[in-house]
Structure 1
């Protein structure tokens, strides 16, 4: 990955309304939803919303709050980062600027590396910002000062964000090979549907896109206990295959 390619792609990402909207939804949206749901669930109310939210709260206080944040992040991260990955890799084709990349001294493969790297860095920053924003919101809803278990719950939320970010990378190959971001977004929606089916069918622990959510407690504490580290680590070869396929495609395909 070359320095100029990194600088250009980072600038594109910073100025992109797509990336800014996705980041705001991921950071502010997930924190606001988590704080609201937790406040309702911990209020011991009998409302319809409280009855639906309570099964998502495991434990008490900060553990329950940050655990719910991890559950919501398992879906929100895939959607937000997935859209940005598809847009980043496919926009050149949709906007008709892909042919001009061949005239640059930077090889197309290095440009693809830079695109993926900037998205990864941005997603990491969003994950850290989400947990940072969640802390003051926890105080606002009356959880009191963070306890000793809060650090572990926060680390789990960050781990879920990292895993789902990795699992969004194969969408880069779809957007590249299909020459546009809409096919990538279509594949993203298909992944969300298949993930839900796999979880309901009881095979979610071995389905890479479902395992992080189950580990965070989305399927209940019984489902959480069935998720093993090896199943979570399936995200690594999936991401590696997506990146390798994308870089090879950009290195060998005729860009026009």
Structure 2
């Protein structure tokens, strides 16, 4: 496991993906900060035209609770795309780079290889959540948003991290799709299908029972006064994460038979 983990960390460090994912989350934090800047002054929002209208339609309030909630919502929606791409890359690159045969021939167990990929993806997802939280706190301080307190900031940071981890758990099936599909494209299609379905099901009012809608609802995407997903929703997310991981590991164990 140690050797497999070091190899996966080295692959990630030598790629451009960490920088791209960090930049994507930084842009999300910047956009949320821009919305707060606009919402601080309704006259400024009208002067900016359509952008101001979009900021007002977000339903956020120009204070710390509203800002942190908006950041968590951006993490839930954009995170599925970004973290799903990360997981897809970790598994799909072995087929695109034609290194899968080398992996299958190594004395390192395939279970350790798959587990190492998932651990690296989980660790980087957590770092991205912390990175976005730090950027959000800095932007909020620059904007001098009202309503700051230790409890508010701690609760907002915790919601960011939990949202990111819930979102990451839902990406494990994309690893299976990338493996069985032998490349990136099938998994990318699955990511967009899951993202689209999560929005539609949530709009129909069944999001609490649909795992891919749960992170967004937990982050407050449905708006104030709406029910957050209960234990069932979180259990469904955990089930999807564990099932996707177990199925991916089972596929890799039988990869020689599927060729």
1:133 aligns with: 135
Give per-residue Cα distances to partners, 1:180-200, cap 9 Å, x unaligned: 122111110111111121122
Residues 1:177 and 2:180 aligned together: yes
Counterpart-to-counterpart distance in 1, 2:104 and 2:60: 53
8 A contact 1:120–1:165 mirrored in 2: yes
Structure 2 SS opposite 1:227: coil
Counterpart-to-counterpart distance in 1, 2:190 and 2:18: 19
Structure 2 SS opposite 1:24: helix
Counterpart-to-counterpart distance in 1, 2:57 and 2:229: 18
Counterparts of residues 7-46 of structure 1 (less than 5 Å): 7-26=6-25, 28-44=26-42, 45-46=45-46
8 A contact 1:57–1:65 mirrored in 2: no
1:163 aligns with: 166
Q: TM-score, normalised by structure 1?
A: 0.92
Counterpart-to-counterpart distance in 2, 1:226 and 1:53: 23
Residue 161 to residue 226, structure 1, CA distance change in 2 (3 Å): closer
Q: CA deviation at 1:135?
A: 0.8
| Paired residue total | 253
2:105 aligns with: 103
Give per-residue Cα distances to partners, 1:86-128, cap 9 Å, x unaligned: 1111111111111111221112221111111111111111111
Structure 1 SS opposite 2:120: helix
Counterparts of residues 209-220 of structure 1 (less than 5 Å): 209-220=212-223
Give per-residue Cα distances to partners, 1:70-99, cap 9 Å, x unaligned: 111101111111001011111111111111
Across the aligned residues of Structure 1 and Structure 2, the Cα RMSD in angstroms comes to 1.8
Residue 145 to residue 219, structure 1, CA distance change in 2 (3 Å): closer
Q: CA deviation at 1:58?
A: 4.6
Unaligned runs of 5+ in 1: none
Structure 1 SS opposite 2:225: helix
Q: TM-score, normalised by structure 2?
A: 0.91
Q: CA deviation at 1:50?
A: 3.2
Q: CA deviation at 1:55?
A: 4.4
Structure 2 SS opposite 1:221: coil
8 A contact 2:214–2:237 mirrored in 1: no
Residue 215 to residue 145, structure 1, CA distance change in 2 (3 Å): closer
